[in-house]
């Protein structure tokens, strides 16, 4: 690996691969830093090695990744898998960990294509063994063909629940129930956005198709579920909830939950990029222009790490960021950039017609985001409960970072990935202030766990 590149791309998902292919084709020295062992990111995980039968079970949208990965492999971009990025600053210096050795490299331009993470929503029992996020179930299925052998309950909100239920159905898994916590009132508030969503009708058609198949298979799909909790002694034994005014219970040793996804912003926060609260997506995201430029010179964002818009949109955003880098490096003119980007800009606009409708339809209720039960652990690393966070607010700590300092919430190995969003909502609820006023945890390196031994392996020339 060189010490300096014209372009470094962080992330090997659809945005990162598309950006790398676009720029490398024009002779730019480009390297992709990927924490995963192979290209594809989370959405196209194991796309190059997956058996044909399993790939078919995952559906046509997953198979789309084969073409993206193949085009990337044919390009001249350098690829570094199993490479953890633990630091990024405004001078475009990147701290990496490779083969258990830390190093620092730099670039003229950096595209952060770090993707998204599942939105963690604490609820009673979510820390019990046997309660996992739905994305973890998908990862096991894609990478190793592992599926539940004793049935599963799926709960939460968002299109991924339908997709995973459909995938499990085709893999022969017993789906005991799909519990949707989306408030029924969302259906009405989303309707004004529906006419525009029809412009991306293929997504609606696919979702309806999933529901029809699941219904024909006899899988219970319950909507308007509330008061979700997992119960058990040493592991999950039953899933309890309220539906249609009645308390109900399903015996299950496995509960997979999903409450939508949010941008992975720890690198852009570490680089001190400006972030803004996106009320429609209920999360923080980095500010950027139509080409992906942030307010820090030379640092761009692309894909779901810039705002949640889906895999196809991420692919187009990656190419647009690539065209912008080519222009900024003087490889192509502004007129040529605009000409080459025209199709991707239109395609991306077409893909995003569905987003306003989905964001309204699947908006998570605030009482769930704010973790009403005071006994529920919010910070799994430090075992801080919602009640302890509220108590900190009552003592005068009225923003997320003050709560972090006072309680150590967010100071564990995950560095707030599992609790920062929930803390902001709890503090906002307790202070009766908008959540955007609460701020987000300050990003500091290392943004990924790093041992002292690994940090000490930094070479002297890397520190000069």
The total number of residues shown for the chain amounts to: 464
Same-fold call for 4-117+262-332 versus 120-259: yes
pLDDT of 440: 84
Contact 142, 53 (CB under 8 A): no
pLDDT of residue 224: 95
Say whether pTM exceeds 0.75: yes
**CATH code of the region 120-259:** 3.50.50.60
Which H/E stretch holds residue 213? helix 201-216
pLDDT in tens, 161-192: 999 999 999 999 999 999 999 999 999 999 99
Q: What is the CATH number of domain 370-437?
A: 1.10.10.1100
Q: Which DSSP string corresponds to 308-358?
A: ---HHHHHHHHHHHHHHHHHHTTSS-HHHHHHHHHHHHHHHHHHGGGHHHH
Residue 190 backbone phi and psi in degrees, to 5: -85, -15
For position 460, what pLDDT does the model report? Answer: 59
- The yes-or-no verdict on residue 464 having pLDDT over 60 is no
For 198, residues 6+ apart whose C-beta sits below 8 A from its C-beta are: 204
pLDDT band at 445 (very low <50, low <70, confident <90, very high): confident
DSSP code string of 61-96: HHHTHHHHHHHHHHSS-EEE-S-EEEEE-TT-EEEE
Strand, coil or helix: what is 121?
A: coil
Helix (H, G, I), strand (E, B) or coil at 40: coil
pLDDT in tens, 262-298: 999 999 999 999 999 999 999 999 999 999 999 999 9
Rounded percentage of the chain residues whose pLDDT exceeds 70:
99
363-404 pLDDT, tens digit per residue, is 999 889 999 999 999 999 999 999 999 999 999 999 999 999
Q: Name the band, by pLDDT with cuts 50, 70 and 90, for residue 457.
A: confident
Cβ contact 260:362 at 8 Å: yes
Listed by start position, the domains of the chain span: 4-117+262-332, 120-259, 370-437
Q: Residues 402-433: pLDDT tens digits?
A: 999 999 999 988 888 899 999 999 999 999 99
CATH topology of domain 4-117+262-332: FAD/NAD(P)-binding domain (3.50.50)
């Amino acid at each position: 690996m060189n010490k300096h590149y014209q372009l470094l791309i962080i992330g090997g998902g659809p945005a990162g691969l598309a950006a790398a292919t676009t720029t490398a084709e024009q002779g730019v020295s480009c390297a992709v830093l990927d924490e995963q062992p192979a290209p594809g990111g989370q959405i196209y995980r194991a796309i190059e090695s997956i058996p044909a039968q399993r790939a078919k079970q995952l559906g046509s949208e997953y198979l789309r990744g084969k073409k993206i990965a193949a085009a990337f492999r044919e390009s001249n971009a350098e690829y570094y898998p199993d490479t953890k990025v633990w630091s990024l600053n405004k001078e475009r210096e990147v701290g990496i960990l490779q083969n258990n050795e830390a190093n620092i490299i730099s670039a003229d331009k950096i595209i952060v294509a770090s993707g998204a993470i599942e939105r963690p929503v604490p609820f009673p029992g979510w820390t019990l063994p046997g309660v996992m996020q739905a994305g973890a179930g998908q990862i096991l299925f894609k990478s190793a063909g592992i599926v539940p052998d004793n049935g599963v309950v799926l709960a939460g909100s968002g299109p991924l629940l339908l997709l995973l239920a459909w995938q499990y159905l085709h893999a022969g898994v017993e789906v005991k129930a799909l519990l949707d916590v989306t408030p029924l009132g969302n259906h009405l508030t989303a309707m004004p956005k529906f006419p525009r969503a029809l412009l991306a009708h293929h997504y609606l058609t696919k979702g309806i198709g999933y529901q029809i198949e699941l219904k024909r298979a006899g899988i219970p799909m319950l909507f308007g579920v509330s008061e979700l909790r997992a119960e058990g002694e040493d592991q999950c034994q039953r899933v309890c909830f309220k539906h249609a005014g009645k308390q109900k219970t399903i015996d299950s040793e496995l509960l997979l939950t999903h409450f939508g996804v949010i941008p992975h912003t720890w690198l852009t926060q570490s680089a001190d990029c400006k972030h803004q609260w996106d009320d429609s997506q209920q999360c923080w995201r980095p500010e950027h222009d139509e080409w992906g430029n942030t307010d820090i010179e030379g640092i761009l964002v692309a894909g779901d790490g810039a705002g949640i818009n889906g895999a196809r949109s991420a692919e187009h955003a990656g190419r647009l960021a690539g065209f912008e880098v080519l222009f900024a490096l003087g490889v192509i003119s502004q007129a040529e950039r605009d000409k080459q980007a025209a199709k991707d800009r239109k395609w991306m606009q077409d893909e995003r017609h569905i987003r306003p409708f989905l964001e309204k339809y699947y908006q998570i209720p605030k009482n769930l985001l704010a973790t009403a039960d005071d006994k529920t652990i919010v910070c799994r690393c430090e075992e801080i409960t919602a009640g302890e966070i509220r108590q900190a607010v009552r003592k005068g700590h009225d923003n997320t970072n003050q709560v972090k300092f006072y309680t150590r919430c967010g100071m564990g190995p995950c560095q707030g990935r599992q609790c920062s969003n929930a803390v902001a909502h709890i503090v906002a609820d307790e202070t009766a202030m908008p959540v955007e006023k609460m701020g987000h945890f300050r990003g500091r390196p290392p943004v990924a766990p790093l041992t002292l031994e690994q940090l000490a392996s930094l070479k002297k020339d890397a520190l000069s």
